[in-house]
């Protein structure tokens, strides 16, 4: 049995980034998943959906560099919202493991 839910993403940060005004600064994306499916399969499907939902045209946002940044921020927020909405512990842990900032270990050396 698959579940269908909608994730609402506030895009106000994206609007602020571009300085563009929009009549509607949020959107709704549909995500469908099976709780019995492997976590990595569900996550990959969510990533594809987020990528598709977050597409913008370069000319509408001030160029390619702005488009890349806007789409990246949108995908990150949408993935976080969608994964949390599932309330699936394994999927949430998988997402958090992929989005944790890298920690760098600095070693002191003796000279």
Structure confidence at residue 105 as a pLDDT band (50, 70, 90): low
The answer to whether 79 and 46 have CB atoms below 8 angstroms apart is yes
Q: How many domains does the chain have?
A: 1
pTM score of the predicted model = 0.68
Structural domain range at position 64:
3-99
3-state SS string for the chain? CCEEEEEEEECHHHHHHHCCCCCCCEEEEEEEECCCCCHHHHHHHHHHHHHHHCCCCHHHHCCHHHHHHHHHHHHHHHHHHHHHHHCCHHHHHHHHHHHCCCCCCCCCCCC
- 64 lies in a domain? yes
- Residues contacting residue 21 through CB under 8 Å, at least 6 positions apart: 15
- 32 lies in a domain? yes
- 67 lies in a domain? yes
pLDDT, tens digit, 9 for 90 and up, residues 51-73: 998 888 878 778 888 889 989 98
The two tokens of residue 98 are 């992929």
- 110 lies in a domain? no
* pLDDT at position 91: 93
Distance CA 27, CA 61 (A): 17
């Amino acid at each position: 049995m698959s579940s269908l839910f909608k994730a609402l993403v506030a895009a106000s940060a994206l609007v602020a980034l571009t300085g563009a005004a929009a009549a509607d600064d949020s959107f709704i994306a549909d995500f469908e998943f099976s709780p019995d499916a492997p976590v990595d399969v569900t996550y990959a499907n969510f990533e594809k959906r987020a990528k598709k939902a977050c597409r913008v045209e370069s000319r509408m946002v001030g160029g390619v560099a702005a488009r890349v940044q806007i789409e990246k921020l949108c995908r990150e927020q949408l993935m976080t919202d969608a994964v949390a909405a599932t309330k699936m512990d394994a999927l949430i842990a998988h997402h958090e493991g992929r989005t944790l900032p890298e920690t760098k270990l600095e070693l002191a050396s003796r000279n």
